[in-house]
């Protein structure tokens, strides 16, 4: 019986387990065949299949293991421990082909092609950690995709531009291109002057379409900025030069 079929029997197994008294059930269910296994309840962290990583500071609730990789489900993790785990993944070299979504979702590959995906929900304290093996990365460690809202303004990714001062609504970053969507700014023309003061005075272009004001320019380094302001929102996109 292949692992895909095992999943169909999980609910039945749970029902059967509930029919057994606690004297005969140790709190876990384990099903598997030659293709892998699923364990619900008590589960142990396999450091080898997780590429030498330590277990998270959380309660492991279940796991799935196949020839392609492994996934652990956890609960009761504190926010500070989630932050520390993501930092640890980067320190361990999982920094190629980075994908970051929202605050606590991180995927990275090391130089050997081993990939770790970490996801955490700070509201519930639940999350998952997945390990898989693929091809060695061909890109640079700087290659990354970041998607998520409520992120603080990072001037280093924005060619030194100052924080507009309104709340960040959405954010994404792909390699050297970064974009912020913010709440509207009443004095947006003053901010355009701040953009110019940062050196964006080359190839200036402006336009007004209905209620939308658009400004774009480059600096001497070849960095480019695209700025748009409307009554509903504000957006700033920067492409850093290679």
Q: Residue 47: which of 23, 70, 16, 66 has the closest Cα?
A: 70
Cα(215)–Cα(132) distance, rounded to whole angstroms?
Answer: 44
CB 76 within 8 A of CB 122: no
Domain membership of residue 52 as a residue range: 3-133
139 located within any domain: no
Q: How far apart are alpha carbons 38 and 54 in whole angstroms?
A: 20
Cα-Cα end-to-end distance for the chain? 52
Consecutive sets of 10 residues in the chain, 242 residues long: mean pLDDT of each? 40 40 46 54 84 95 84 94 94 88 84 93 92 82 64 90 92 83 93 97 92 94 95 94 84
Q: At 164, which CATH number?
A: 3.30.160
Classify residue 169: in a domain, yes or no: yes
Is residue 89 domain-shared with residue 16, that is, in the same domain?
yes
- Which tokens belong to 142? 């700087």
The DSSP letter of residue 7 is: G
Do residue 82 and residue 111 come from a single domain? yes
- Residue 30 dihedral angles phi and psi, to the nearest 5°: -130, 125
* 154 lies in the same domain as 118: no
30 and 117 housed in the same domain? yes
Tell me phi and psi for residue 6, to 5 degrees: -60, -40
Shared-domain flag, residues 187 and 112 = no
CA dihedral 30, 129, 71, 43 (to 10 degrees): -20
Q: Are residues 207 and 128 in the same domain?
A: no
- Specify if 175 maps to a domain: yes
DSSP for residue 9: G
pTM, to two decimals? 0.58
pLDDT in tens, 191-232: 999 999 999 999 999 999 888 999 999 999 999 999 999 999
Q: How many residues does the chain have?
A: 242
Sign of the dihedral through C-alpha 169, 174, 175, 177: negative
**According to the model, what pLDDT value does residue 87 have?**
93
State which of 100, 133, 166 marks the end of a domain: 133
Is the Cβ–Cβ distance between 228 and 238 less than 8 Å? Answer: no
70 occurs within a structural domain: yes
Asked whether residue 116 falls in the same domain as residue 175, the answer is no
Whether 158 and 231 map to the same domain: the answer is yes
Q: Say yes or no: 124 and 210 in one domain.
A: no
**Number of folded domains that form the chain:** 2
């Amino acid at each position: 019986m292949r692992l895909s079929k095992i999943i169909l029997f999980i609910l039945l197994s749970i029902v059967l387990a509930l029919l057994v008294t606690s004297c005969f059930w140790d709190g876990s269910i384990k099903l598997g065949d030659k293709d892998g296994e699923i364990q619900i309840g008590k589960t142990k962290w396999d450091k080898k299949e997780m590429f030498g990583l330590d277990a998270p500071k959380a309660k492991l609730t279940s796991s799935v293991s196949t020839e392609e990789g492994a996934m652990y489900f956890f609960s009761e993790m504190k926010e500070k421990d989630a932050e520390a785990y993501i930092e640890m993944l980067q320190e361990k070299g999982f920094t190629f082909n980075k994908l970051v979504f929202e605050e606590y979702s991180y995927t990275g590959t090391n130089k050997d092609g081993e990939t770790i995906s970490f996801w955490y929900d700070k509201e519930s304290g639940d999350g998952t950690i997945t390990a898989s093996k693929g091809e060695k990365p061909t890109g640079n460690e700087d290659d990354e995709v970041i998607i998520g809202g409520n992120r603080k303004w990072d001037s280093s990714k924005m060619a030194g531009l100052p924080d507009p001062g309104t709340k960040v609504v959405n954010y994404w970053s792909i390699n050297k291109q970064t974009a912020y969507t913010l709440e509207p700014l009443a004095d947006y023309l003053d901010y355009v002057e701040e953009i110019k003061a940062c050196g964006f005075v080359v190839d200036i272009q402006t336009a007004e379409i209905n209620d939308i004001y658009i400004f774009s320019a480059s600096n001497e380094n070849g960095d480019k900025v695209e700025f748009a302001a409307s009554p509903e929102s504000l957006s700033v996109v920067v492409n850093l030069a290679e």
